[in-house]
Structure formats: structure tokens, C-alpha cells
Amino acid sequence: MTFSFSGQHYLAGLWQAGTGDAMQSENPVTRQIIWEGKHATENDIEQAFQAARHAATHWAITSPEYRTKILHAFAAQVEKRRAQLAELISLETGKPLWESLTEVSAVVGKINLSIQACRERNAEKKTVNPDATACLRYKPQGVVAVLGAFNFPAHLSNGHIVPALLAGNTVIYKPSELTPAVAELIMHCWAESGVPAGVINCLQGSGQVGRSLLDKAVDGVFFTGSYQTGKRIHQQFAGRPEVILALEMGGNNPLVVDEVSDLDAAVYHTILSTMITAGQRCTCARRLLIQNNAAGDRFLQHFILACQKLRVGPYTMQPEPFMGSVISTQQALSHLQAQQTLLQKGGEALLKMTQLQENSALLSPGIIDMSSVNAPADEEIFAPLVQVYRYDHFDDAIRMANQTRYGLAAGLLSDSAQKYQQFYQQVKAGLINWNKPTTGAASSLPFGGVACSGNHRPSAYFAADYCAYPIASMESTHLTQPAQLLPGISLE
């Protein structure tokens, strides 16, 4: 499939060439140049902000039915380009085509889920009292900045944009500089949906573009990415508490494997927890906690063998691979260095992660036993690399699972309902799964973590909560005097 891109920003309903420094994206497997454009300048950023601010008043008072109509038109445009968008996601991120197709489905499915969530969580309510009506309604935040992530370049940003627009906000979207082509195609879908000029704008560029955007008088910032970047955003707004921040910042997630009768199922769910998307999901299990006995040995042996057999390659490979590349060769080399650091600290390579092709971002799965390492670093390594820890007692597994500053996802594979109840009660995380992969999440539920994984603004079904704020009103159609005045008041 041939792709043609303008390499432009989308500002005030128009495609405009930037005047900043040149930027480009490339296929992480072949290094083929996919997209070329220019970083947004201060002038571009100011233009995007003014367009969003100008459109905000009108968009906020449009009817929910009209906004819903626009969202459905956007979904129709995405559906029309389903094959093109899926292949572009694979081309620009290196992920398999089967996975990219599921991402496109998530983009389309977000529309109806967001409408349902908004109706449920932001529904207008009235209570009629003898002297007044108590009303609960919601207003949009105003102009919000959405900072996108590279691992799901269409879906994750869409998870903020759709509920934000539905609530009546205007949006300035700054996608990852690693996936500008996917962002441009998504913006074409918005442009052809009939959305009014200025309601959604897109600025391409680096992290500096994002930082400059956040210097504007935005009313909200919706971010998905690393803890380090999320922390800097939080610090940037230390003096602006009036700005709503929704920060999803990853995790160092544990998966505990207890006594299980179906060994193959346990291995399968562990693979999905640790290696899917080449380990580039914030919910991937980074730490695998296994019993220190013969059953644990047996599970580990099967898991290593299964990882050795995983099909890894470009999205064009036939039969299709399970796993593609990480996002860039630079990141691949960084992950290999992180593995080397683990080994230098005393980790044992049960299966060493390697670069499968020179000058390519394809990495093989890696498994490092860290059981003998004292005080291992509490870091999220965004790669197909999992650290193994052995435990003697289930209480030890829970203690080890909680040895992290993060709190996004945690999982337990066990035949025991009693142990799951203990795990659920004692493990600190926003997503807790039993006999399912840590990467499994339902869009009909909230998505977010605690501690350093987020700031208590879960997304997915709960995104409606940070896209609008509640207004409480006491209302009466007639101005009347009470039958009895309060003591000390005389109107004669």
C-alpha cells in the first residue's frame, strides 16, 4: 500500500506547513523514511491555541446530539480507512498487522463507549424541593492539550480526544514525534468528519513542542507516557492548580504464578503479559514472581521454551509474527544496555534478549533471573524483557509484588480463589487481574494506576470524569420571600 503525506500541521481547520526544523519518522525494522515534515514553532503553537480558544465558546454550547453526530462521522472515516490505517500503524511502529487491526477497532469502538460513559457519569440530575430545584449539570474544561504516545499512536490519544470533544472541550493534539504519520491520517479523518474549524488542532514535533504548548493558558492536560515526563508535567503546573491534569505514567508491574493445574494456559497468559507489543505496553508484567520449588522450575522451563519459539519479525512476515520490533533502533540499543546493567548487578540470563538484525529495532524475548540481586532497580524497561524472582511462600510473593513505587497493573495466575482474595486485598494497583494477562483491560472499566503510575485520574470509561466538571445549582422560577424570615432581619 502506498502512503502520501503532506507533513503538515492541522490548525484552525486548515493544513499548514510548519516553518521549524525538519523532522521525519521511519520504519523501525527497515529504516525506510515514512513521513517528513517540520517541528511546530512558537507561532504555530500560538495559532493552534488561539484557534482552540476561539472555537471553545461555540463548541461548548452545541448540543450533545450534534457533537455525537460528528463523532460518528469520524468513526465512519476511520472505518473507511481501516486497512490503510492498520498497515500504517504497523509500518511506523513495527507491530504486527493483526495487532494494528485490533487498535483500529478500538478507535472505532471508543465512540459508543464514550457516549455511554458520558450519559452514565455526566447525566443531568434534578431534585425538586418545596422552594427550589437542585440541579446537577456538567461543563467542559475548555481548551485541553492531549499528548500522545507511540505504542498505540491511534488508540491512546483517541481515548482522550473523543471524550474531551464529546464533553464540549476543544483539543490541541501533540502526537509522539515517533509516529507523526499515523497522527496525520487520524487528523484527515477528523477533518472529513465535519468538525468545525479550531475544535481539534494537531501540532507535530518533539517534546519541546509539548513543553511550549503547556506554557499556554490551557485548561487541561491529558497525558500518557513515562513517569519521568509525567512528573515534569506535574512540576510545570505546580503553580497552576486550576488546570486539570490526567497523567497515566506506566508501571513496574508484577505477575505472580502460583499453583496452577493448566501449565500451558499459565505460560500463554504469561507470554501475553510480558511479550505482547514487544513489551511496549504500560501494563506489561516487568517482574515475574515464581514459586521456588519443582512446580516453579517446571513452569519456568516451559515459559523459556515458549519464548524461544515466539515468531518475531516485520509485519510483512508470513505466517504473521506474534511480536514485531520496538519503536526505534535507538530504543533497541538502550534496552540492550538496560539488560546488560541487570546482568552486571548479578542477574542471570535465562534467555538473553538480542538484536535480531543489525541496524534494526527487532529484539528477541529476554528473561533475566534477578532472585539473587539485592535491592534491584525499580524501573520500567519498555522492552520484551522480563525479570524473574523466586518466592518460597505466597506472603513473600505479595510482599515482593508491592516492592515498587508504581501501582498500575498486577496479576495472579492461581487455582485458589482464597489466594486471589488475599492478593486483591493486599496488592496496591489500579488494575488487578486473576487468571488473565496483566495486559488485559476492558474499555467499559476505568484504566489507571496509583502511586507513581498516575494522579488518580483513570481514563477509559472514567475519562468523562476529567473532561468535564460538575455544576451544582439551586434554581427557582419565581423569586419569593420565605414565610418566616431568619432572626434579626426586618424588611419593613
- What is the Cα–Cα distance from 73 to 66, expressed in whole angstroms? 11
What is the SS3 assignment for 412? strand
Catalytically annotated residue among 282, 284, 307, 452: 282
Q: Is 42 a catalytic residue?
A: no
Beta-bridged to residue 195, according to DSSP, are: none
| CB-based contact 421:403 (threshold 8 Å) | no
**What is d(CA 51, CA 447) in angstroms, rounded to the nearest whole number?**
31
Query: Are 396 and 381 spatial neighbours (Cβ–Cβ below 8 Å)?
Result: no
| Distance separating alpha carbons of residues 447 and 409, to the nearest angstrom | 10
| Contacts of 188 by beta carbon, 8 Å cutoff, 6+ apart | 77
* CA separation for the pair 117, 4 (Å, rounded): 36
Task: Please name which of 191, 192, 209 lies closest in space to residue 200, comparing C-alpha atoms.
Answer: 191
Catalytic annotation present for 36: no
DSSP 30-58: T--EEEEEE---HHHHHHHHHHHHHHHHH
Q: Which of 248, 307, 380, 467 is catalytic?
A: 248
Strand order of the β-sheet with 125-128 is 125-128, 133-140, 468-475
Helix (H) / strand (E) containing 117: helix 97-121
Other beta carbons less than 10 A from residue 25's beta carbon:
28
Cβ neighbours of residue 221 closer than 8 Å, sequence gap 6 or more: 144, 145, 147, 214, 233, 237, 243, 244, 245, 246, 247
Q: Phi first, then psi: what are they for 350, rounded to 5°? A: -80, -30
Question: Do 401 and 422 contact (CB within 8 A), yes or no?
Answer: no
Query: Residues 6 or more apart from 424 whose CB is under 8 A from it?
Result: 432, 434
The torsion angles phi and psi of 286, rounded to 5 degrees, stand at -95, -25
422 contacts 258 by C-beta, under 8 angstroms: no
Around Cβ 396, how many Cβ atoms within 10 Å?
A: 15
Catalytic residues: 248, 282
